[in-house]
Structure 1
Amino acid sequence: MNPRLNSPAIDADEARTRLPGLTVIDVRTPGEYAAGHLPEALNIPLHQLDRALPALRQLSGELLVVCTSGARSANACHTLAEHDIRAMTLTGGTQDWAGRGHPLDRPASGGRPVWAMERQVRLTAGTVVLAGLALGLLHPAWQLLSAGIASGLVFSALTNTCGMAALLSKLPHNRPRPADLDATLAALAQRGAGRPSVT
């Protein structure tokens, strides 16, 4: 069994009742985070998690990691466990949280909305598959492009990872500004100041 699937988890209703005592880390892209996040959640995109490890080690209390559906947060919890940082994931992610009628915070500035990563992956994969099929009419070798995407999607489902999402997260609209991540790390350091480590 994939260890990424074994992280401790709580559902949205339990998280809501425990929220004041939790440090919530949202591992989605900044655009997804801006579209709506759990109250008091701090944004550390999954691909930037390593940079936050020292600050996360200093936290006391419980750490809840969230994403859209729970897949990226489960992967983040696995990474944290490898560094002896205890964390739990939100089952069903922000989708389930909002679906149960719990509030989401949004920045007052309300910047340009960014699609959820799963939607970005579906659009990209579908576009590449259609391009491969269309170009396959000119030369059959182009159909390998579609076959490659299909193989990647199967691998993604079997391993609960997504290489395409990792690539898309590096696009400018999905990346945090350095100042935003620095502010998040400073907020974590402030929460952990003078407290015993969770490890």
Structure 2
Amino acid sequence: GAQAAAERHDARIAALGTSPLAFAGTTVGKLRYLQARAEFGLTAREQLTSGCHVHVAVADDVEGVVVLDRIGPWLAPLLALSANSPYWMGDDSGYASFRSQVWSRWPTAGPTRTFGTPEAYHAAVEGLVATGTILDQGMVYFDARLSARYPTVEIRVADVCLSADTATLLAALARGLVETAARAGDEPPPEVPVEILRTALWRAGRSGLSG
């Protein structure tokens, strides 16, 4: 199929988190995307990345927040496992996942504190939108969040994976994390400071599994 067509042009198909070649991005001609380009400048114009988002069903927002409050320390290992974007604009970045560096430019990207209740989570989201810095709730780019469209926890930290086997493993681990966290009951979530989570994610993006 696609690979056969690529071979006619001496090319290979590969799933990567960033392009190995430099190129100028284009903006989809929808109002929201045009607004984002105007508001966020180079950050929007250089958003030339591909991630792998895993949705895992939860019973409701109560269970979803229980999960979010407990899986944060495990998101950096998922990034390390999936790291698949060493190149940026034609250069070897020195990072296993340079996509994670590019993505971190967005104002709401990254790890989050524990929320405790759905009310606290939704208040945090509404507060971010109310600042006027982001366009809408769709731009709440937490590494893991309650999906606004589906009854799921959405784990967004990973690069698009090079192989189907890695993507399958990533999905299985994400589901296992959610299932384990959902069964935690009244057990208090781990108290890991956000600055430690952020540093762990940086290290996972820099070194992948080799670090």
Query: Structure 1 length normalisation: TM-score?
Result: 0.25
Query: Structure 2 length normalisation: TM-score?
Result: 0.25
Q: RCO higher in 1 or 2 (8 Å CA, sep ≥ 6)? A: 2
Q: Which has the higher helix share?
A: 1
